Amino acid sequence: MTEPKPFDTLADAAERYGRASLDNYAQVRNVAESVQAGFCRYLSGGEKVCVYLVPPEGAWSPQPYQSGAFSVSGTGFLPLDPISFGLAVRVSRTGDWLRLVLSCAKMGPEMEITIQNGGQFALTLPASPEQLQQLFDVLFGHLTAWFVQQADLYENGEYGGRSIGFDFLHSPNGDSVPVV
């Protein structure tokens, strides 16, 4: 029996890495799509589309981006790293949206979700409806607390900082807007 050549050992390691990175992406995307659809139902009872998956940074508008909503989009070689995505969340009756950025890292049987400028939440995979409901409560609380804190600061004369933690966008008709 011949020993494997160094290239074969390297190729085997790279193939294992590739399988793991694809699994990581699939797991994160599954969680992201569940969060997008479920959080919209949580907020509006399913009456109107109010949450979209959007890129975690750069230009965005409230519309579905599919695979373009993930930080690994367009990277070529799929890295085995935590993956971020944005949630465009409708926050007003007049068409205001904000982008909430989440980062996901698979830690054994759990998906650790970090809210940018916020806390962390762990889901045991596959995520149960009860766990997702708890996550929606956390996301809702995070968003609501930010608005309440900012209004409280204003009323106390302590406002004016620019570290809002969210990207805002206004859509005059309240629905999705074309990409600019």
Q: What is the pLDDT of residues 85-114, one digit of tens each?
A: 999 999 999 989 999 999 999 999 999 999
Please state, in angstroms and rounded to a whole number, the distance separating the CA atoms of residues 20 and 141.
33
By the 8 A CB rule, do 71 and 56 touch? Answer: yes
**Using one digit for the tens of pLDDT, what is the confidence trace for 31-60?**
999 999 999 999 988 778 899 999 999 999
The pTM (predicted TM-score) of the whole model is 0.84
With 0-12 CB in 10 A as exposed, 13-18 as middle and 19+ as buried, what is 59? exposed
| CB-count exposure of residue 90 (10 Å: 0-12, 13-18, 19+) | buried
Q: Is the dihedral of CA 67, 178, 138, 167 positive or negative?
A: positive
Rg (CA), the chain: 19
**Which stretches does DSSP call E strand in the chain?**
51-54, 83-90, 96-107, 110-115, 120-124, 167-170
pLDDT of residue 164: 47
Distance of CA 176 to the CA centre of its chain: 18
For residue 98, what are the β-bridge partners?
A: 89, 168
Read off the pLDDT band of 174 (50, 70, 90): low
SS (H, E, C) 57-99: CCCCCCCCCHHHHECCCCCCCCCCCCEEEEEEEECCCCCEEEE
